[in-house]
Amino acid sequence: MRGLKLIERFKSTQVHALSPPEASTTGGGGGGGSTGSKLSNHKRIKFIGLKSNKNTNSVSTAQVLLPYGFPTTTTDLIEPSIDPHLKPIHYVKALADIYRRLKSCLESDKSLLYMEQYANLCGLGDAKLLRRCLRSARQFAVDVHTKVLLSAWLRFERREDELVGVSSMDCSGFILECPKAALVSGYDPNSVYDHCKCYEEHTSLIESQSVVQNECLSLEEDRDVTFLIGDQEVNFIRDKIAALSSPFKAMLYGDFVESTRNKIDFTEDGISVKAMNAVEVYSRTRRVDVFCPEIVVELLSFANRFCCEEMKSASDAHLASLVGDVEDALILIEYGFEGRANLLVASCLQVLLRELPSSLHNPKVMKLFCSSATRERLANVGHASFLLYYFLSQVAMEENIVSDTMVTLLERLEECATERWQRMLAFHQLGCVMLQRKEYKDARYYFEAAAEVGHVYSLAGLARAKYKQGQQYSAYKLMNSLIAEYKTTGWMYQERSLFNLGKEKIADLDTATELDPTLSFPYKYRAVAKLEERQIRAAISEIDRIIGFKLSVDCLELRAWFFIAVEDYESALRDILAVLTLEPKYVMSHGRMNGDRLVELLRHQVQQWSPVDCWMQLYDRWSCVDDIGSLAVIHQMLANDPGKSFLRFRQSLLLLRLNCQKAAMRCLRFARNHSSSEHERLVYEGWILYDTGHREEALSSAEKSILIERSFEAFFLKAYILADTSLDSESSSYVIQLLEEALKCPSDGLRKGQALNNLGSIYVDCGKLDLAANCYTNALDIKHTRAHQGLARVFYLKNQRKAAYDEMTKLIEKAHNSASAFEKRSEYCEQEMAKNDLNMATQLDPLRTYPYRYRAAVLMDDQKETEAVDELTKAIAFKPDLQMLHLRAAFYESMGDLNSALQDSEAALCLDPNHMETLDLHSRALDRVTHQQ
């Protein structure tokens, strides 16, 4: 009966959800002259006018700020996109399988396995984890092609193209990213942290060239064979040229007539006199680097024709060393194809790849990469691979996912796919692109192909394509069958909600949020539905729920529209400025309104701040832990003074706190580029190095900066890096000394508050509680509100538990985002109150893992084993975290479920292969399984 009712409901061509048809036809359409559009504009004006009696002014403001109207629940403008990455249906099982294969495979196979791991982890969005996968893949790369590719990929991930004064072929000093090291075949897996020796190699090359030139001039031996080219002669030593290859040896010493002649005609063999002279010099010196490139190209062709393998290798290597820029690469790669010169083609590819993303906009480069014929030519010299087109398509996806270039690169990707995961990825991404391009027939084909190979998540894309073609009930049935067949996840209910109606749609969205609170669409839909019901404050509260723990530009933009609806222009401006900090080129209203234009319009509605006002506002927001507000203030300060690198640095700190790693690194690069002095530039480069895993190099940058000028930021950076490891008493004393030196240097209260807070933490670790309390108190005096947490810890260690609780309560009352404060306060109260605080922490930020682990541990202590495992499983489903996987593995081990314990520990080790506690647990479980067998 339920199915029959659904069939009737799906006869409608438009789902109207919570809004009547006449009120919901605007959405994001541009047709301002339609009746539906006029009705919607009238409704929007009523919203704006709710707060003010000056309706005429409100109407004018609405028309200016909202020319395209509000998003509605019936439009696809708030619809979530299909994730273009692999999404295993059993994530933990997939990670464990990769770990097992990595432990048992040949070392030569590890590089590709690490890239499979990369593909599976892409959906998590953890930049550091993905970079580690790339580094591991590069570490175990054996062939030149893979090394060149992964070195360029690592450079792209660092976005070194954004660093002023850095060339694409510059060596960063790390062997894994060195362009010269990439052109050397073979590998040493222990060299992952080694520095390259580019300078030494350059010096020895100059010296050797000098030696060769002298040798070419000075060596005079009797020539006993002459090669004729036209009417010119080139004299050779017969033994020397015979030694170049088997064909020459046979010709000069075998049964051929040339063996009895002193003059041999080479006129018809297509080599110039100059090149033949070069062959003669090479036959004596075995060097080609004294000749001009044109001659070496001829030597390469000659070597191919007469099987002179050593000469070919030397010519190949020398030409490879000459590729300096994109134009060189585009010219020389053709000679590489013709001469089947593997190293030359690799060197040309390296230049083109290290110029990404800018080389994507070069038509000649894209013609090279996109052509099916060129892919075959690349294959002939060993340089067409799945990884090459995977890298190119990833870069293209960031630039423009619906471009023709994107489609062509993915088609090449699919042609190169050989393994199952590669075919899944290629088909799925082609489906995603076709869906975005509204080519629904092709999207269905590719999603079906991906699903047939085993990528279950692609069925969500198939359902979406069917829905776009008007087959709503078929799409609903497909998602319904998924929910019935597999262990349900949040995305399944989210997808089914798109094809559902009324209360059942809301029920699906609520279930999706319960299973995976990180999905943004359910919050957005519920918020827009409340807007349509004129419950604007409730709409703001709904979207606040996800913004509180997961910052994204689409949710911030949506909240800005809601604030405009209630004439809270200051809050709207704050959110738009935060959006532009995250994505400076973001365009509002789904690509129809420039963000800077909206900022300009909003500024007419709010009071303008002077530079002094901005600093006061920044202090206020920083002190109440309003990170989004702080971002907006800094954005406004930079608009007045864009060259202030320290403001860019402040942006990066806030963005890291908000878990926006890419945006944070971009701000750090801006700070570095706008540095007014060498010592300042070194500090920002140090932070970039530290955040990308190069701790020793970061420390060196800090020390160089201090030698130039003693500054707060240089001392702070050095102290921060040293405090990142387990400190003994001597190391702790040194870090304390560094922080004290930092506090003696000029800086503002915001940074000094952070330094005092860090200093207090070191004192606590050393057991100097009174000194720590003094640091925290001084930090609070300059409005560093987070120092409440440190002071609470001091009280707790002094057995003043009530004082510790009260101190954390003060932080909760002051902080805008207080999830971490609730979590920390739970340590200072009784179990029932702790449970309430941790529940509140989870409600405010479901991504925090400690509350789940605490609740699971309490349940385990109460011998509620199943409930304890379920508590962790609930969180692992949307956040496969190392600590939670380790704890669940330990629970399984204690319950005797050793297979599950092994699977969880292997998945955890896939995330961090060096986690000692998990390694021990895995070893114990494996021993017990082996013993039982």
Using pLDDT thresholds of 50, 70 and 90, give the confidence band for residue 604.
confident
Decide: helix, strand or coil at residue 931.
helix
Mean pLDDT of 768-783: 96
Mean pLDDT of 475-502: 94
- Is the pLDDT at 151 greater than 50? The verdict is yes
* Enclosing domain of residue 914: 846-932
Mean pLDDT of 387-401: 95
Question: Minimum mean pLDDT among 22-26, 461-465, 872-876: which range?
Answer: 22-26
> What pLDDT is attached to residue 260?
67
Mean pLDDT of 371-385: 92
Q: Read off the CATH number of the domain in which 909 is found.
A: 1.25.40.10
- Is the pLDDT at 103 greater than 70? The verdict is yes
Could you tell me if 496 and 476 are in contact, meaning their C-beta atoms sit under 8 angstroms apart? yes
The residue assigned the tokens 């999830």 is: 819
Ranked by mean pLDDT, the top range of 286-290, 501-505, 582-586, 702-706 is: 702-706
Mean pLDDT of 608-632: 92
> What pLDDT is attached to residue 227?
86
Tens of pLDDT, residue by residue over 751-764, are 999 999 999 999 99
Mean pLDDT of 78-97: 95
Last residue in a domain, options 287, 322, 357? 322
> What pLDDT is attached to residue 640?
82
Using pLDDT thresholds of 50, 70 and 90, give the confidence band for residue 596.
confident
Domain count, the chain: 2
Mean pLDDT of 663-672: 94
Using pLDDT thresholds of 50, 70 and 90, give the confidence band for residue 23.
very low
Higher pLDDT, residue 223 or 612? 612
Higher pLDDT, residue 836 or 221? 836
Token couple for 581: 């900090």
Tell me how far apart the alpha carbons of residues 482 and 637 are, in angstroms, rounded to a whole number.
51
- Whether residue 508 is contained in a domain is answered as no
Higher pLDDT, residue 832 or 51? 832
> What pLDDT is attached to residue 353?
96
Handedness of CA 96, 97, 103, 109 (dihedral sign): negative
- Whether residue 263 is contained in a domain is answered as yes
Decide: helix, strand or coil at residue 326.
helix
- Whether residue 255 is contained in a domain is answered as yes
Last residue in a domain, options 274, 297, 322? 322
Beta-carbon contacts of 618 under 8 Å, excluding residues fewer than 6 positions away, are: 630, 633, 634, 637, 750
pLDDT more than 90, % of the chain: 68
- Whether residue 459 is contained in a domain is answered as no
- Is the pLDDT at 494 greater than 70? The verdict is yes
CA 96 vs. chain centroid, Å, equals 22
- Is the pLDDT at 11 greater than 70? The verdict is no
Using pLDDT thresholds of 50, 70 and 90, give the confidence band for residue 193.
low
> What pLDDT is attached to residue 271?
87
3-state percent breakdown (helix, strand, coil) of the chain, nearest 5: 70, 0, 25
Token couple for 616: 């006061």
Strands (E), 539-679: 587, 593-594
- Is the pLDDT at 468 greater than 80? The verdict is yes
- Whether residue 477 is contained in a domain is answered as no
644 secondary structure, DSSP code: -
Using pLDDT thresholds of 50, 70 and 90, give the confidence band for residue 649.
very high
> What pLDDT is attached to residue 101?
97
827 secondary structure, DSSP code: G
- Is the pLDDT at 203 greater than 50? The verdict is no
- Is the pLDDT at 216 greater than 60? The verdict is no
- Is the pLDDT at 6 greater than 80? The verdict is no
> What pLDDT is attached to residue 74?
67
Last residue in a domain, options 294, 322, 350? 322
Q: What DSSP element (H or E) covers 76?
A: none
> What pLDDT is attached to residue 55?
44
Mean pLDDT of 160-186: 82
- Whether residue 75 is contained in a domain is answered as no
Using pLDDT thresholds of 50, 70 and 90, give the confidence band for residue 213.
very low
Using pLDDT thresholds of 50, 70 and 90, give the confidence band for residue 202.
very low
- Is the pLDDT at 5 greater than 80? The verdict is no
Q: Read off the CATH number of the domain in which 276 is found.
A: 3.30.710.10
Tell me how far apart the alpha carbons of residues 767 and 765 are, in angstroms, rounded to a whole number.
5
> What pLDDT is attached to residue 780?
95
- Whether residue 290 is contained in a domain is answered as yes
pLDDT more than 70, % of the chain: 89
Mean pLDDT of 779-801: 95
- Is the pLDDT at 266 greater than 60? The verdict is yes
Mean pLDDT of 475-488: 94
- Is the pLDDT at 27 greater than 80? The verdict is no
